[in-house]
Amino acid sequence: MADSLNLALAQINPIVGDIAGNLELVRAARREAAAQGADLVIYPELVITGYPPEDLVLKPRLQQVVAAALAELAKDTADGGPGVLVGTPIVIDGKLHNAAVLLDQGKEAAVRLKYDLPNYGVFDEKRVFVPGPLPGPINFRGTRLGAMVCEDMWTQDVTECLQESGAELLVVINGSPYEGGKGDERLNLAVARVVESKLPLIYVNQIGGQDELVFDGASFVLNGDKTLAVQMAGWRAQVVTTRWQRDAAGKFACVDRTREPTIDGLEAIYHAMTLGLRDYVTKNRFPGVILGLSGGIDSALSAAVAVDALGPDKVRAVMMPSPYTSRDSLEDAAEVARLLGIRLDEISIGPAMAAFDGMLKPLFEGRAADLTEENIQSRARGVTLMALSNKLGHMVLSTGNKSEMSVGYATLYGDMCGGYAVLKDVYKTTVFELSRWRNQHLPAGGRGPAGRVMPERVITKPPSAELKPDQTDQDTLPPYDQLDGILACLIEKELGIAEIVAQGHDRATVERVWRMLDRAEYKRRQAPPGVKITRRSFGRERRYPITNAFVNSAAAAE
């Protein structure tokens, strides 16, 4: 029985499908942990494939490559250095499992299979994996470790089984994506497992962006008395070795007190957008991004996030004025570009508008101008950006926010063009808050300027698409503070109309917003991906039919 143990927590950023690259990340972290004196290195869930691999993990060839990588890694551990506990898919008796595998002293020492497969929200693991049995502890160099895989910690069954079968220390490997308030939820659940078992707990989470998901790391250690012994950094890769000693009663405790500051609120949202965009661009090997800079707040904030994520040399902006573009917007776009240090080109869409007017005039004869002409302007801008993207290789960054996407206040093949949308899960009211926050703070690791990133007028002027004279968003939409409150009730909370009205909202407005939300589903299906921020983002987390005759209001159904 070991009296002391050094356990390294490897909070790293794998790439889905890059088995060779991920193996090298694992090896690099092991070398770093060995230099810190670690006996064992603990990695996140499915670190060998990257998480989530989705249906990619079903490919027989990928499964073969993963098995070969595990065999190579096992050989590494014959060097007398630390063992490794890695998350990986594994095939046993023809069945594919999500597993924690212990490799030590040149061989596969133990395998524990994920028992509780999540199948809600962004997770659909039952689609690809088979659950394992309730696990027993792993014997590592004289210490019984209770290995759990992510969701196994969210209920008490696995913890209870491990505690009853003699585990001395709970080790949870995770691929837990960020959303607002998730850090507190994780910690509260971990505390509950510690209270039930009286065992200390190690929680290792991955870092990085993967399509819509972004992982914030923030790994931690709790002692058996519920005290927080170690808090690792959020939003950056890190390898931290923790020291463990047995007390007089023979129970293990972490003797370190290393606590990085926690990041939450607006700062966490900004980090999520920045990391999500950076990894989407770099992992997909784009040379940079290009976006339409209109002089409005959404494009200004999107540009700031892009510069902080990638650096000003990888961000290009285009101002595409029409006859309805105000002088203020021209000046504000130029000032945003100057403050951020990015290139700004100007391409008027006036000639395109005239060309479409001439092309369509015979068929539009006798019909008054309406939304059609407004959408042509937006689509002319989309065509311009896509042409520049094709020619230059830069990905088009879409600038629409969650409020607009919710109610369809966006033009298909126009302002919805793009490869990624950093504001897709950010309500307009939060866009205002984030813009004020960024004007006062440079986030850690940000590659943009330390001062202001947009003039105050961008934040204070009434939002407008500027597709016709004197237009504002509130000509079409309720005030954003009302709209966003109603949308949060409909989307995140799934409340009925009567329940929302009972919270003080006007019934006619609620019913109008619900109809707009319902009608816009077909647009959202065609929208680019964007980083998940809220409890319920559009895409894999909210799957509604486009053809849908359900009536949300009992009164409306009468």
pLDDT at 175: 95
**Which region holds residue 470: left if phi is over 0, alpha if psi is between -120 and 50, else beta?**
left
pLDDT bracket for residue 554 (50, 70, 90)? very low
Shared domain check, 274 and 251? no
Q: Averaged over 420-424, what is the pLDDT?
A: 96
Q: Please give the pLDDT value at position 507.
A: 93
Same domain, 291 and 314: yes
pLDDT of 416 higher than 60? yes
Residue 54 is a catalytic residue: no
Question: Which CATH number fits the domain that encloses residue 316?
Answer: 3.40.50.620
Query: Are residues 328 and 393 located together in one domain of the fold?
Result: yes
- How far apart CA 400 and CA 380 sit, in angstroms, is 17
Over residues 428-441, the mean pLDDT reads 97
Q: Give percent of the chain above pLDDT 70.
A: 97
Say whether pLDDT at 473 is over 80.
no
Amino acid 467: pLDDT: 66
Whether 58 and 18 share a structural domain:
yes
The answer to whether residues 185 and 307 belong to one domain is no
> What was the pLDDT predicted at 555?
46
Last residue of a domain, one of 230, 263, 296: 263
How confident is the model over 122-143, as pLDDT tens digits? 888 989 999 999 999 999 999 9
State whether 386 and 257 are in the same domain: no
Mean pLDDT of the chain: 93
pLDDT of residue 58: 95
Overall average pLDDT of the 369-382 stretch: 92
Q: Mean pLDDT over residues 323-331, rounded?
A: 92
Instruction: Find, among 188, 239, 191, 224, the residue nearest to 82 by Cα.
Output: 239
Shared domain check, 319 and 197:
no
- pLDDT tens for 176-199 read 999 998 999 999 999 999 999 999
Distance (Å, rounded) from C-alpha 119 to C-alpha 111?
23
Q: Is 1 exposed, middle or buried (0-12, 13-18, 19+ CB in 10 A)?
A: exposed
Q: Are residues 254 and 293 in the same domain?
A: no
Whether pLDDT at 361 is above 70: yes
Q: Is 95 a catalytic residue?
A: no
Q: Is 547 exposed, middle or buried (0-12, 13-18, 19+ CB in 10 A)?
A: exposed
Taking 90 as the threshold, does the pLDDT of residue 336 lie above it? yes
Please check the confidence at residue 11 and state whether its pLDDT lies above 80: yes
Higher pLDDT, 2 or 532: 532
Q: Which of 54, 107, 114, 391 is catalytic?
A: 114
Identify whether 114 is a catalytic site residue.
yes
Same domain, 256 and 349: no
- For residue 552, pLDDT over 80 is answered with no
The total number of structural domains that make up the chain: 2
Domain containing 129: what range? 4-263
Pick the catalytic residue: 125, 150, 254, 532?
150
